[in-house]
Structure 1
Amino acid sequence: MIGTWAEIQRQQQRQQEAQQRAWAQHQRTEERRQRAAERAAARAQREQQAAYRQRREADARQRTEELDQRVERLRSLLVEGCAAPIFSTAALLRPEQVEPFAPGQLATPIRMPDPAAYQPQSGGWGFGTSRQAHEQARLRYEQDWRQAQAAEAHRQSQLEAYRQQYQRWAEQQLAEIRQHNAGVEELAVALRNKDQQAVVEFFTAALYASQGWPEGFPRQVSASYDPAQRQLVLDWELPAYAVVPDVSAVRYMPGADRDKETQRPATERRELYREVLAQSVLLALHDLFSADRFEVLCSVALNGFVNDTDPATGRPVQICLATVMTTREGFDRLDLTQVCAPDCLVEGLRGELSQRPDRRRAVRPARRPEDAGRTVVSHGGEEDPDLFAMDPIEFEELVAELFRSMGMQAVTTQRSNDGGVDVDALDPDPIRGGKIVVQVKRYRNTVPPSAVRDLYGTVQDAGANKGILITTSRFGPGAHTFANGKPLTLIAGDELVGLLGRGGLRGRLGGTAPDSRPGRSTAVDGDGGRLAASPEHAASSRATAETDSAGEDELDQTSVLGMTWRGSVVVDVCALSCRGNRVVSEEEFVFYNNRRNPGGSVRMMPGTGTDRAAIWVRFDRLPAEADRLVLVAAVDPETDPEADLAGFTHASIRLSDPSGTEAEALEVSDGRPGEKALVLGAFRRRSNGDWQFVPGGKGYPGGLLALVEEYGIEVR
Structure 2
Amino acid sequence: MEAEARRRRYEAQQARAYQRRAEQGHREYCQAEARRRTEELEARVAALQGLLTTGCRAPGFRASDLMRAEDIPPFDPGPLAWPVRMPDPNQYQAQSGWTAGQRARAQAEARARFEQDWHAAQLAEGQRQQRLAALQRDHEQRTESQRAEVRRHNAGVAAVTEGVRRGDPDSVVEYFSAALYASTAWPEGFPRQVAAAYDGAGRQLVLDWELPPYDVVPEAKSVRYQLREDQFKEAARPVSQRRALYREVLGQSVLLVLHQLFAADEYGVLDSIALNGFVDAPDPATGRQTQIFLATVMASRAAFTDLHLGQVDPVSCLTDALRGQISTRPDQLASVRPGRQPQDVGSPVATHGGDHEPNLYDMDPIAFESLVADLFRAMGMQAVTTQRSNDGGVDVDATDPAPIRGGKIVVQVKRYRNTVPPTAVRDLYGTVQDVGANKGVLVTTSGFGPGSHTFARGKPLELISGGELVDLLHRHGLRGRLGETRTAAPAQPTGAGPAAPPDDHNVLGMTWSGNVALDVCALVCRGSRVLSEDHFVFFNNPQTPDGSVRAIPAAGPDKAAMRVAFDGLPEAADRFVIVAAVDPEVNPEADLSGFTDACIRLLDPALTELGRLEVSDGRAGETALVLGSFRRRANGDWDFVLGGKGYTGGLEQLVRDYGIEVE
- TM-score above 0.5: yes
Q: Distance in 2 between matches of 1:218 and 1:322?
A: 16
Select which of 320, 325, 328 maps to 1:347.
320
Task: Name the residue aligned to 2:430.
Answer: 429
SS in 2 for 1:304: strand
Answering whether residue 491 of structure 2 is matched by residue 494 of structure 1, we say no
Task: Name the residue aligned to 1:470.
Answer: 464
1:535-584 Cα deviation digits (max 9, x unpaired)? xxxxxxxxxxxxxxxxxxxxxxxxxxxxxxxxxxxxxxxxxxxxxxxxxx
Structure 1 regions of 5+ residues with no counterpart? 1-26, 388-397, 443-454, 475-489, 511-716
Select which of 225, 235, 239 maps to 1:252.
225
Q: 1:121 to 1:274 in 2, by over 3 A?
A: farther
Q: How does 1:24-423 map to 2 (within 5 A)?
A: 27-119=1-93, 125=98, 129=102, 131-310=104-283, 315-381=288-354, 382-385=356-359
SS in 2 for 1:429: helix
Q: Distance in 2 between matches of 1:216 and 1:112?
A: 63
Q: Distance in 2 between matches of 1:496 and 1:138?
A: 72
Q: 1:440 to 1:378 in 2, by over 3 A?
A: closer
In 1, are the aligned partners of 2:41 and 2:220 still within 8 Å (CA)?
A: yes
How far is the alpha carbon of 1:176 from its aligned partner?
3.4
In 2, are the aligned partners of 1:412 and 1:423 still within 8 Å (CA)?
A: no
SS in 1 for 2:42: helix
Q: 1:495 to 1:258 in 2, by over 3 A?
A: same
Q: Distance in 1 between matches of 2:322 and 2:166?
A: 29
SS in 2 for 1:308: strand
1:393-420 Cα deviation digits (max 9, x unpaired)? xxxxx9xxx99977799999999xx9xx
SS in 1 for 2:430: coil
In 2, are the aligned partners of 1:223 and 1:234 still within 8 Å (CA)?
A: yes
Q: Distance in 2 between matches of 1:209 and 1:508?
A: 23
Q: Distance in 1 between matches of 2:247 and 2:442?
A: 48
How far is the alpha carbon of 1:210 from its aligned partner?
1.4
In 2, are the aligned partners of 1:298 and 1:327 still within 8 Å (CA)?
A: yes
Q: Distance in 2 between matches of 1:344 and 1:410?
A: 41
Q: How does 1:452-463 map to 2 (within 5 A)?
A: none
SS in 1 for 2:18: helix
Question: Aligned partner of 2:310: which letter?
Answer: T
How far is the alpha carbon of 1:33 from its aligned partner?
2.5
1:297-354 Cα deviation digits (max 9, x unpaired)? 1111111111012366554200001111111111111111111111111112111111
In 2, are the aligned partners of 1:236 and 1:305 still within 8 Å (CA)?
A: yes
TM-score by length of 1: 0.54
Q: Distance in 2 between matches of 1:374 and 1:206?
A: 20
Q: Distance in 2 between matches of 1:85 and 1:278?
A: 21
How far is the alpha carbon of 1:268 from its aligned partner?
1.0
In 2, are the aligned partners of 1:471 and 1:492 still within 8 Å (CA)?
A: no
Q: Distance in 2 between matches of 1:47 and 1:130?
A: 84
1:173-223 Cα deviation digits (max 9, x unpaired)? 333333433333333332222122211111111112212212221110011
SS in 2 for 1:176: helix
1:78-123 Cα deviation digits (max 9, x unpaired)? 111112232111222233442222222222222223334444666x
How far is the alpha carbon of 1:167 from its aligned partner?
2.5
Question: Aligned partner of 2:21: which letter?
Answer: E
Question: Aligned partner of 2:156: which letter?
Answer: G
Question: Aligned partner of 1:89: which letter?
Answer: A
SS in 2 for 1:318: strand
Q: How does 1:501-580 map to 2 (within 5 A)?
A: 507-508=480-481
What percent of counterpart residues are identical?
A: 47
In 1, are the aligned partners of 2:211 and 2:279 still within 8 Å (CA)?
A: yes
1:12-50 Cα deviation digits (max 9, x unpaired)? xxxxxxxxxxxxxxx333322322221121111111110
Deviates more, 1:194-203 or 1:164-173: 164-173
In 2, are the aligned partners of 1:469 and 1:491 still within 8 Å (CA)?
A: no
Q: 1:68 to 1:508 in 2, by over 3 A?
A: farther
Q: 1:101 to 1:133 in 2, by over 3 A?
A: same
Question: Aligned partner of 1:385: which letter?
Answer: N
Task: Name the residue aligned to 1:593.
Answer: none
How far is the alpha carbon of 1:429 from its aligned partner?
2.8
Q: Distance in 1 between matches of 2:203 and 2:170?
A: 13
Q: 1:410 to 1:333 in 2, by over 3 A?
A: closer
How far is the alpha carbon of 1:155 from its aligned partner?
1.5
Aligned CA RMSD, in angstroms, stands at: 4.1
Q: Distance in 1 between matches of 2:59 and 2:37?
A: 31
In 1, are the aligned partners of 2:445 and 2:482 still within 8 Å (CA)?
A: no
In 2, are the aligned partners of 1:78 and 1:280 still within 8 Å (CA)?
A: yes
Q: 1:465 to 1:428 in 2, by over 3 A?
A: closer
Q: Distance in 2 between matches of 1:159 and 1:217?
A: 50
SS in 1 for 2:310: coil
In 1, are the aligned partners of 2:169 and 2:200 still within 8 Å (CA)?
A: yes
Question: Aligned partner of 1:466: which letter?
Answer: P
Task: Name the residue aligned to 1:681.
Answer: none
Q: 1:269 to 1:202 in 2, by over 3 A?
A: same
Question: Aligned partner of 2:149: which letter?
Answer: E
Q: 1:56 to 1:409 in 2, by over 3 A?
A: closer
How far is the alpha carbon of 1:162 from its aligned partner?
2.5
How far is the alpha carbon of 1:497 from its aligned partner?
9.1
Q: Distance in 2 between matches of 1:180 and 1:385?
A: 20
In 2, are the aligned partners of 1:192 and 1:294 still within 8 Å (CA)?
A: yes
How far is the alpha carbon of 1:161 from its aligned partner?
2.3
1:243-292 Cα deviation digits (max 9, x unpaired)? 11111111111111111111111111111111111111111000000001
In 1, are the aligned partners of 2:470 and 2:480 still within 8 Å (CA)?
A: no
Q: 1:312 to 1:336 in 2, by over 3 A?
A: closer
Q: Distance in 1 between matches of 2:296 and 2:281?
A: 18
Q: Distance in 2 between matches of 1:246 and 1:352?
A: 26
Question: Aligned partner of 2:198: which letter?
Answer: Y
SS in 2 for 1:294: coil
In 2, are the aligned partners of 1:200 and 1:377 still within 8 Å (CA)?
A: yes
SS in 1 for 2:433: coil
Q: How does 1:660-671 map to 2 (within 5 A)?
A: none
1:483-530 Cα deviation digits (max 9, x unpaired)? xxxxxxx997139999xx9xxxx93499xxxxxxxxxxxxxxxxxxxx
Q: Distance in 1 between matches of 2:341 and 2:15?
A: 74
